[in-house]
Amino acid sequence: MTRLSRYLLRSHFGPFVFALSACTSMLLLSQIAKRFGDLVGKGLPWSVIVEVFVLSLPFIIAMTLPMAVFVAVVYTMSRLASDSEVTAMHAGGISLGRVMRPLLLAGAGVTVASFLFSDHVLPRSNHRLRTLYTDIARKKPTFSIKEQVINEVKRNRFFLRAASIDPATYTLRDVTIFNFADQDRRRVIYADSGYLAITADQEDAELTLFDGVMHEFDRSDPRMFQQVGFAKDVVLIEGVGNELKRSLTDSYRGDREMGICQMEQIVRAARREERLARRRLGAMRRNGLRALVGLAAVDPDTAVSEGRESIYCRALLAGASWLLPDTLRAQERSRPDPAGALRRLSTGRTPTIRRSNTLPLVRGSELRVFEDRARQAAIRGAHYQVEVHKKYAIATACFVFVLLGVPLAIRFPRGGIGLVIGVSFAIFTIYYIGLVAGESFADRLKVPPWFLWMPNLIFTAAGLALLLHARTETRPRRHVIAAGGGLAEYLRAHFKLWRPH
């Protein structure tokens, strides 16, 4: 590493650490202000409250790393340009590409570190944070229930809404319960009133409801619906304790609690399920047409490939197999041949299956079942594919912001701290709005998952355009020199030049 490279990296290190600390602290303070009241109201020890906010740090750091890179690059390069150090480098025969080389290498290093951090550290911290939130929600459930809000009593399983809550008697008015504990059936309960009580062992909660009705839906058959009225009903909510009990094992993991390789397995399984459902749907339609003319049915092709893992996952698996010891695997016992195989061996030929030429007509409800199955599989695969692309895109933004920040700071050397704050705020707003919008559209299958790369592509094109302009401009224009190189002066000078005489 040359002396110039060391000088440039040393100049950027301090602003980078300061920007990372400042951005992380602001977002952490916002998180504390949002969650502190709810956590203190549950009577939790301070160690648990501190643990909640410490576990929130990895997610915040993953978002603020690109911010810190851009702020450090714009601030440092604008300061070097305003002190005429960039001019001195150019006068000494050092090109802009030579100046950017160590910064791009450092940006690539931060990109790799950010990607590994978001793939290995962030999922584990999100899983522990989600488990801790679940344990906290089980403690003193009456304090966590709010009026006119759908409260998540048990994660993804039990939701409760009450128009009014009496904290003294735990009496509820106008109660609505969404019970999703059963995977096959969904229950929605409406009641005029009720009250909540903790069982004697302080483990479960009993919700007694009065004058209500229960609606039950069947997920596998949309035509099935049940309605049952009741004068009194008792709903048991298991696993709700008055003391904070930490969960030792929790096998459930959401999309933000998985690594890339885990999500790719779900994406491959979802794509296989989608292709299989569409093939069966096409076979049912063809068989319906064949039944009209008296032809035999055609079985759908169920041979669907699983697909290969990505290069990153294959390399990670190879490295893990090289570093970690082999695991023992129990051998399966050989099973005897089924009766069909023995019959084939005894007769010497495979029995043929006779098909009837008359087939029942295909119902529209049966077609809609496979259509819904294919669409749900496509949505599930796209949802996890979006999370995979988001990890790659946010990490790559560290490199993209270096490419954009250097020519932008050199183009306006006297922008000062106003340029750093204004441009950084605008860039971050545009980037994250584009990221959130792309994620929302991709989850609904409006755009492909790779659409999340669009902010990176736009800022890369803008950085290359500014860089090309800075390299091809042999000398600054007179009005820019007269204006002093600031953004406001630059706009005023251009406005005077463009104003009609």
pLDDT tens-digit profile of 309-346?
888 888 888 877 666 555 545 555 555 544 454 444 44
Closest CA to 160 of 171, 146, 170: 146
User: 360 pLDDT exceeds 60?
Assistant: no
Neighbours of 472 (CB within 10 A): 7
Question: Does residue 302 carry a pLDDT above 90?
Answer: no
pLDDT exceeds cutoff 70 at 363 = no
> Looking at residue 42, what is its pLDDT?
64
Average pLDDT over residues 406-421: 80
- In angstroms, the CA 439 to CA 327 distance is 38
Q: Are 151 and 129 part of one and the same domain? A: no
Report if residue 214 sits inside a domain: yes
Question: What pLDDT, on a 0 to 100 scale, did the predictor assign at position 476?
Answer: 44
User: Are 128 and 12 within one domain?
Assistant: yes
How far CA 418 is from CA of 68, 151, 180, 481, in Å, comes to: 16, 43, 52, 20
Confidence of residue 142 (pLDDT cuts 50, 70, 90): low
Q: Looking at the domain assignment, is residue 437 inside a domain?
A: yes
Kindly state whether residue 245 falls inside one of the protein's structural domains: no
Are 71 and 150 found together in one domain? no
Q: Are residues 104 and 167 in the same domain?
A: no
Q: Is residue 325 domain-resident?
A: no
Q: In percent, how much of the chain has pLDDT > 90? A: 29
Domain region containing 17: 3-136+382-496
Whole-number Å distance between alpha carbons of 158 and 186: 11
Same domain, 228 and 266: no
Mean pLDDT value across residues 121-127: 92
Which of 254-263, 354-363, 365-374 is least confident?
354-363
Domain termination residue (choose one: 332, 362, 392): 362
Would 159 be classed as within a structural domain? yes
Residues 275 and 223 in one domain: no
Q: Is the pLDDT of residue 81 over 90?
A: no
Q: Would you say residue 340 lies in a domain?
A: no
Q: CB–CB of 55/128 below 8 Å? A: yes
Q: Is residue 327 part of a domain?
A: no
Do 124 and 12 lie in one domain? The reply is yes
Residue 100: what are its φ and ψ, rounded to 5°? Answer: -80, -20
Condensed to tens digits (0 to 9), the pLDDT of residues 201-227 reads 666 778 899 999 999 887 767 777 888
Look at 491 and 426; give whichever has higher pLDDT.
Answer: 426
User: Do 162 and 90 reside in the same domain of the chain?
Assistant: no
Tokens coding 470: 């800075």
CA distance 6 to 491: 35
Distance CA 444, CA 434 (A): 16
Q: Are 443 and 379 in contact (CB under 8 A)?
A: yes
How many folded domains does the chain comprise? Answer: 3
At 244, the pLDDT band (50, 70, 90 cuts) reads: low
Rounded distance between C-alpha atoms, residue 137 and residue 149, angstroms: 15
